[in-house]
Structure 1
Amino acid sequence: MYGKKYLFFISFCILIIVASGCTIGESPAEKMYEHLEQTVSLESGFAEVQEPLIEAEQKEQELFNEMLGLSMKEIDKIKKLADEAIGLADSRGELITKEKESIDSAYEEFKSVNGLVDEIDEDTLKKKANELVETMEKRYKSYDDLHNVYMEALNMDRELYEMMKKEDLAIEDLKSRTEKLNKKYEEVLKSQDAFNNLTDQYNEKKKAFYKEAGFSTTDKKEAS
């Protein structure tokens, strides 16, 4: 009608690499392996929220489009739909909070790796370990940026739905607010792309580190 509101979801699969033919012992590389695999497990909460998050986003978009198709003579129906959309936005907020808790707990586990890198004697392996750590640090920082801009957009969604409940709402005000929201979701998309790119880089560097350390890589899953 006067603009299209885009909802983007964060979607990615963490690389799972399983060591075979070796026993986890006391070497720095093997200790790093344990922490890295625990990090993967702790990020499982990230994946668990994606399906319900997508469903909430899609339903919210449908409600928004339905509201745009109504006239102000149907304000009671608009208010009802707006309240339902606000409820879905609140649900998204809860899911995103759970997602961040998963990422934060994984990051705390990952930080255990930092001190182990200095204990590695072999130069090539230490170099790959450092590259792995540096990339993961950038990845977690990127997720924080993504989380923050997504929450800003979510709050703007709520404000838009509240605005649509006003009986004296001007079309130009609605158009202006929707355009601002579109720009905010463009920021979300850019942040999402940056996070996904760093995830791909991390997956590759993790695979290279495991290979150099002598861990066989099987059951490969690439991040998307």
Structure 2
Amino acid sequence: MRSICLVVWVLLLCSCGVSAEDGIYNKLEKVASLERTFEREQQPLVKLEQEEKEVYHQIISLGMGETEKRKELSAKAQSMLDTREEHLKKERNSLLTSKQEFEKVKPLMRKVKEESLKIKSAQVIAIMQKRYDIYDILYGQYTTALQKDRELYKLLEKDIFELKEVERKINEINETYVKVLKLNQVFNVHTEQYNDAKERFYKESGLKIKVERAIAE
């Protein structure tokens, strides 16, 4: 998933005092910094997904008589699921913290006087709110996917199981991850839109900025 960009340098061109625009800048950059944990969790999650996929392929390559090995690998995969859940919770907590900070921006944006700035600030709020809403849905789908993964591994731990039941569970998992992928793409689009809207607001406010984009796929 993509993360919001952080403005690392700024020169105020228009005012010496602290304006509403200055306050908004400070809050928005704090929001960006609070998402650093969210950004850091991306790589471990992807790595764990890949490692678990390898274990899954080892399991399905086993013969029906290799029960003990299948149980061992299924237990290993479930342990990986536990770790994925831990990283996912850290990711979500980071987003929730940034969302709480973002709420503090709204009163400041209502103090903006210039009409063109009001429009741009409203765009920033609307896009970011949509981004948070999409993440909530994405988090729910990812959590569902993890639950279905766990159900599959518990099924594969059994001494005897129906292949049709395994196939049904695999189809459910695949359908859920398709939804996760699509939601992730939508989330990335809204992140880019938010970054662009924020930069437009800064420039319209008379801020000269240098932007560092920290992107996590």
TM range (shorter): over 0.9
Q: What does residue range 24-43 of structure 1 map to in structure 2 within 5 Å?
A: 25-43=17-35
Q: What does residue range 43-58 of structure 1 map to in structure 2 within 5 Å?
A: 43-58=35-50
Q: Does 1:136 align with 2:133?
A: no
Q: Quote how far apart the aligned CAs of 1:18 are.
A: 3.4
2:56 to 39, 56, 64: 64
Spell out structure 1 runs of 4+ moving beyond 4 A: none
Match of residue 5 from structure 1: none
Q: Does 1:207 align with 2:199?
A: yes
Q: Quote how far apart the aligned CAs of 1:24 are.
A: 8.0
Match of residue 15 from structure 1: 5
Contact 1:25–1:31 (CA<8 Å) still a contact in 2?
no
Q: Quote how far apart the aligned CAs of 1:25 are.
A: 4.3
Contact 2:9–2:211 (CA<8 Å) still a contact in 1?
no
Match of residue 176 from structure 1: 168
Letter in 2 for 1:126: K
Letter in 1 for 2:64: M
TM-score (norm 1): 0.91
Residues 36-81 of structure 1: CA deviation (Å, up to 9, x unaligned) = 0000110000011112211211110000000000011111000000
Three-state SS of the structure 2 residue aligned to 1:20 is: strand
CA pair 76-42 structure 1, distance change in 2 beyond 3 A: same
Match of residue 96 from structure 2: 104
2:157 to 157, 165, 169: 165
Q: Does 1:188 align with 2:180?
A: yes
Q: Quote how far apart the aligned CAs of 1:222 are.
A: 7.0
Three-state SS of the structure 2 residue aligned to 1:169 is: coil
C-alpha distance in 2, partners of 1:37/1:219?
Answer: 11
Structure with more of its chain in strand, by fraction: 2
Q: Quote how far apart the aligned CAs of 1:19 are.
A: 4.2
Three-state SS of the structure 1 residue aligned to 2:18 is: coil
C-alpha distance in 2, partners of 1:64/1:165?
Answer: 12
When the two chains are superposed, the root-mean-square deviation of aligned CA atoms in Å is 1.5
Unaligned runs of 5+ in 1: 1-10
CA pair 169-198 structure 1, distance change in 2 beyond 3 A: same
Contact 2:67–2:159 (CA<8 Å) still a contact in 1?
yes
Higher relative contact order (CA closer than 8 Å, sequence separation 6+): 2
Letter in 2 for 1:79: K
Q: Quote how far apart the aligned CAs of 1:116 are.
A: 1.0
Unaligned runs of 5+ in 2: none
TM-score (norm 2): 0.94
C-alpha distance in 2, partners of 1:18/1:98?
Answer: 24
Contact 2:10–2:207 (CA<8 Å) still a contact in 1?
yes
CA pair 16-173 structure 1, distance change in 2 beyond 3 A: same
